[in-house]
C-alpha cells in the first residue's frame, strides 16, 4: 500500500491573480502558506478482482476508472493510463469545500501516489503542473496555480506566475510564529462549492480590483518580511472590501456582522474568508483573546489551531 499526504493552505496575499484569465494578460503574484493539516490518499492493488474501488465521502465500485464520478481521481488515473485493478482511499483533517485548497491538495497527493505506484521518477514541479493540467485543461475548472503549488512545495511561498503560466517559487522569510499568533481562524457553519465564485471572479479578471489585489500582494509581502503585523492587518481590511466587490457570493450578512463586531470589540485589524469565499473558514487578524474565542464559540464557530507545514507533498508509507 502506498500512502501520500499533502497540506492544506491559507492564502496570505494575491488570491485570484493565479487564475489564467488574469495571469495570461498581466502575470500573477500570490503569497501562500501551507499548514499542518493534510489530505491523505492511499493506493493499493486489488488482489482478487479487476475493478476500481474508491472510498471518500461515498464509496464507488466501477469496472474502469473512466466510470468514476470523482472527477479529479478519474482524470489522474486516466492521464497515467491506469484503468482497473486498484483501490483508492481519501481522508482528510479538514472538510472538503472549506476554502483551504482541498481540491488542489487532493490532486497533488494522488498524483504523487500514482507516480510512486508506477515507479516513476518525478519532481515536485512536475507533480504540481500535472495537477494544474487536470483541473484547468482536462476538467476546464475555474482553478488557479496556487493550490497545487503550495500543496506540492509546502512552507510559506511567494509564487510569481508568468503570462505563459510558468511559476517561480521562492521562500517567504518572515517571523512565522508572531504572524500565526495573530491568525485567529474559525470554522464557519457553511461549506460551499468554490466554482460559481471563481467563475464570477474570472468574468471580472480585467476589473481594476484585480490590479489592486496584485499591487497589494507586494505590500503584504513587505509587511510580512518586516514583521509589521499592524500594517498587514490594516491592509487586509482593505483587501476584504475589494474581494467582496468581485462576487456577491463572497460573503453574507451574518459573516459581515461577525467581522464588524470583532473589529469593534476585540482589536481585530482585518480579516478574510479563506479561499474563494462563501463559507469554509474565516480568519480574523489581530491579537488572540479569550473574549474573541468565546464570542465565536457562541456563534458555533470553532477555532482552528495550526502551524506551518514545511514538507509539502510526500509519500509517508510504501
DSSP state letter for 119? T
Report the C-alpha gap between 164 and 203 in whole angstroms.
20
pTM for this model (two decimals) = 0.92
Topology match between the domains 2-173+309-317 and 176-304: no
- Cα–Cα–Cα angle for 297, 299, 303, rounded to 5 degrees: 40
Specify the pLDDT at position 203.
52
Q: Residue 8 pLDDT > 50, yes or no?
A: yes
Specify the pLDDT at position 194.
47
Q: Exposed, middle or buried by CB within 10 Å (0-12, 13-18, 19+), for 80?
A: middle
CA dihedral 125, 22, 201, 272 (to 10 degrees): 60
Q: Please give the C-alpha separations between residue 182 and each of 129, 163, 232, 237, 318, in angstroms, as whole numbers.
A: 33, 34, 10, 14, 38
CA dihedral 1, 318, 132, 179 (to 10 degrees): 120
Residue pLDDT, tens place only, 19-70:
998 999 999 999 999 999 999 999 999 988 899 999 999 999 999 999 999 9
pLDDT band at 134 (very low <50, low <70, confident <90, very high): very high
What ranges do the domains of the chain cover?
A: 2-173+309-317, 176-304
CA dihedral 40, 46, 50, 53 (to 10 degrees): -30
* Helical packing angle, 102-117 and 124-133, nearest 10°: 120
| Top mean-pLDDT range of 190-199, 245-254, 261-270 | 261-270
Q: Which CATH superfamily is domain 176-304 in?
A: GHMP kinase, C-terminal domain (3.30.70.890)
Q: Residue 192 pLDDT > 60, yes or no?
A: no
303 phi and psi angles, rounded to 5 deg: -85, 140
CA dihedral 267, 239, 308, 176 (to 10 degrees): -60
What's 2-173+309-317's CATH class?
A: alpha beta
Considering the chain, what is the average pLDDT of its residues?
Answer: 91
Within 10 angstroms of residue 170's Cβ, the number of other Cβ atoms is: 10
Q: Residue 204 pLDDT > 60, yes or no?
A: no
Q: Please give the C-alpha separations between residue 178 and each of 19, 265, 285, in angstroms, as whole numbers.
A: 30, 22, 12
Residue pLDDT, tens place only, 265-315:
999 999 998 875 556 899 999 999 999 999 999 999 999 999 999 999 999
Amino acid at each position: 500500500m502506498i500512502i501520500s499526504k499533502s497540506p492544506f493552505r491559507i492564502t496570505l496575499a494575491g488570491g485570484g491573480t493565479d487564475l489564467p484569465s488574469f495571469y495570461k494578460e498581466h502575470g500573477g503574484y500570490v503569497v501562500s502558506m501551507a499548514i499542518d493539516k493534510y489530505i491523505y490518499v492511499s493506493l493499493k492493488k486489488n488482489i482478487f478482482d479487476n475493478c476500481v474501488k474508491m472510498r471518500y465521502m461515498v464509496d464507488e465500485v466501477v469496472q474502469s476508472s473512466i466510470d468514476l464520478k470523482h472527477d479529479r481521481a478519474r482524470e489522474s488515473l486516466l492521464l497515467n493510463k491506469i484503468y482497473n485493478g486498484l483501490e483508492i482511499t481519501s481522508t482528510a483533517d479538514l472538510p472538503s469545500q472549506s476554502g483551504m485548497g482541498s481540491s488542489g491538495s487532493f490532486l497533488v497527493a494522488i498524483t504523487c501516489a500514482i507516480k510512486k505506484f508506477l515507479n516513476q521518477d518525478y519532481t515536485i514541479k512536475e507533480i504540481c503542473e500535472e495537477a494544474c493540467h487536470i483541473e484547468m485543461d482536462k476538467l476546464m475548472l475555474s482553478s488557479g496555480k496556487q493550490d497545487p503549488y503550495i500543496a506540492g512545495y509546502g512552507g510559506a511561498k511567494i509564487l510569481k506566475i508568468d503570462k505563459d503560466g510558468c511559476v517561480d517559487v521562492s521562500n517567504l522569510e518572515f517571523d512565522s510564529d508572531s504572524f500565526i499568533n495573530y491568525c485567529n481562524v474559525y470554522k464557519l457553519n457553511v461549506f460551499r462549492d468554490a466554482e460559481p465564485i471563481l467563475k464570477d471572479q474570472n468574468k471580472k479578471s480585467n476589473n481594476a480590483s484585480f490590479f489592486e489585489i496584485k499591487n497589494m500582494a507586494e505590500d503584504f509581502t513587505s509587511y510580512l518580511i518586516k514583521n509589521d503585523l499592524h500594517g498587514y492587518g490594516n491592509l487586509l481590511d482593505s483587501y476584504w472590501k475589494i474581494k467582496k466587490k468581485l462576487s456577491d457570493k463572497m460573503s453574507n450578512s451574518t459573516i459581515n456582522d461577525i467581522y464588524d463586531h470583532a473589529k469593534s470589540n476585540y482589536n481585530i485589524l482585518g480579516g478574510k474568508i479563506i479561499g474563494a469565499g462563501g463559507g469554509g473558514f474565516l480568519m480574523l487578524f489581530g491579537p488572540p483573546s479569550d473574549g474573541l474565542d468565546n464570542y465565536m464559540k457562541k456563534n458555533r464557530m470553532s477555532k482552528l489551531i495550526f502551524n506551518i507545514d514545511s514538507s509539502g507533498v510526500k509519500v509517508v508509507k510504501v
